[in-house]
Structure 1
Amino acid sequence: MISNRQKQQGVALVVSLIILVSLTMLGLTSIQRTTTDLAMAGNQRETGLMFQAAEVGLSSAETFIGNSTTNADFNNAGLGLITVPDDNPAYNGPDYFRPNWNTSSQQASTALDAWEQPRYMIEYLGDRSQNPLAGVNIGSYGTIQSGDIVSIYRSTSRGVGLTVNSFRYVQSYFGKDKP
């Protein structure tokens, strides 16, 4: 009996080492998953902040358009106020992905807790007359319009999150009665 007992002592050590290694692997896997979850939550927060900043920029652009009294305001590309030429059907627009928006755009008036404040540029696309027979026109829905002249604008906004590593671009069209 004594000889059997001495043989079993080594097996207990091996079994306990296997259990210890498996518990270590489980612990490392859970730590890795927690780290991944934290990274995903941070990315989601960053994406939301960038989108909110871009929306603030669009809102500021629409306010600027609404307060402008003449379309002559949109002739300074250095400030992000651009007039699209009527005789240029191949107009590509500004390079929205240029590295420095600070010198060719407007800063939004609302301050956000971001790396940099939202910025926007506005393109004046020209004047169009509303179709009096259309069911949808600027100003109202489902009513017949008198064929008013409407100025059309395209505004593009760039939002930056808490880091400078990524951006969100949002674009919208805006129309108002010709000033």
Structure 2
Amino acid sequence: MIVNRNQQGATLVVAMVLLLVMSLIGLSSVVSSTLQEKMASNAQQRTLARAAAESGLAAAERFIATQITATSKLIQFNGDNTGYYSAYPVPGIILETKLAKQVTDLADAADPSIWTAANSVEVDDLSSAVQSKKPRYTIEYVGRRSQSGISVWSPSAVIERGAPHIFKVTAIGWARDTAVYSVLQSYFMTGTGAGVFEYEE
């Protein structure tokens, strides 16, 4: 029997090329799958961080709704309570504004390293299984609402009785990875109507 050695060599080369192509396809699939898993994980981490920040916002707004039920309660923003601040005085209630003194480091709230127990309030309502740190928030009293918009107190200001008080709420939440975090901000107004808020001006 006559064997063509050139054909055997060609068969080997073709087989090697096919094996190389199949290996590259397999490697590409693995890389693609790994990339998709990382993208899905990152999306999940971002979702967890946002949920944690929203939890912080909700806790802060709940505090305002349940604890700040009268103008006199604004005294909690006198600068003596960590996490609760005012940039403006309120006659007879907020006598000293310590915002600039105590939370200068929170000027850039998007920097997660500045949020500490010394300048913000910790939220306790999420499991450590889904987050690396507990959410934190601050509340800043920003003044009253008038017909022309937000109007802060001043000796010459004329504010209508019952004009809502306005608060700026800032919260941060982390995912399981401390490098993944979300910072959210909202404005909260006190309500109007009997039994909702007691305006004592």
TM-score by length of 2: 0.72
Equivalent position of 2:94 in the other structure: none
| Mean CA deviation greater in 63-72 or 149-158 | 63-72
- The equivalent position to 2:179 in structure 1, one of 160, 165, 178, is 165
The 5 Å alignment of 1:146-157 reads: 148-157=162-171
Cα RMSD of the aligned pairs, angstroms, is 2.7
Q: How far apart, CA to CA, are the structure 2 residues paired with 1:75 and 1:161?
A: 33
Is the 2:60–2:169 contact (alpha carbons within 8 Å) kept by the matching residues of 1?
yes
Please state whether the residue corresponding to 2:54 is helix, strand or coil.
helix
Q: How far apart, CA to CA, are the structure 2 residues paired with 1:167 and 1:68?
A: 28
| Mean CA deviation greater in 31-40 or 111-120 | 111-120
The code of the aligned residue for 2:173 comes to G
The 5 Å alignment of 1:1-179 reads: 2=2, 5-69=4-68, 70-76=73-79, 79-85=82-88, 94-95=106-107, 96=109, 97=111, 99-103=113-117, 104-112=119-127, 113-129=130-146, 131=147, 148-177=162-191, 179=198
- Residues 102-133 of structure 1, C-alpha deviations (whole Å, 9 max, x = no match): 2210012312331111110000001234x3x9
Is the 1:66–1:176 contact (alpha carbons within 8 Å) kept by the matching residues of 2?
yes
The code of the aligned residue for 1:79 comes to T
Q: Following superposition, which runs of at least 4 residues in structure 1 exceed 3 angstroms of deviation?
A: none
The number of aligned residues is 162
The code of the aligned residue for 2:24 comes to M
- Residues 123-153 of structure 1, C-alpha deviations (whole Å, 9 max, x = no match): 0001234x3x99xxxxxxxxxxx96221100
Q: How far apart, CA to CA, are the structure 1 residues paired with 2:132 and 2:28?
A: 34
| Mean CA deviation greater in 69-78 or 17-26 | 69-78
Equivalent position of 1:141 in the other structure: none
Q: How far apart, CA to CA, are the structure 1 residues paired with 2:138 and 2:132?
A: 19
TM-score by length of 1: 0.80
Percent identity of the aligned residues? 29
What stretches of structure 1 of length at least 5 have no aligned partner?
Answer: 135-145
Q: How far apart, CA to CA, are the structure 1 residues paired with 2:45 and 2:126?
A: 17
Q: How far did residue 18 of structure 1 move?
A: 0.3
Q: Which has the higher strand share?
A: 1
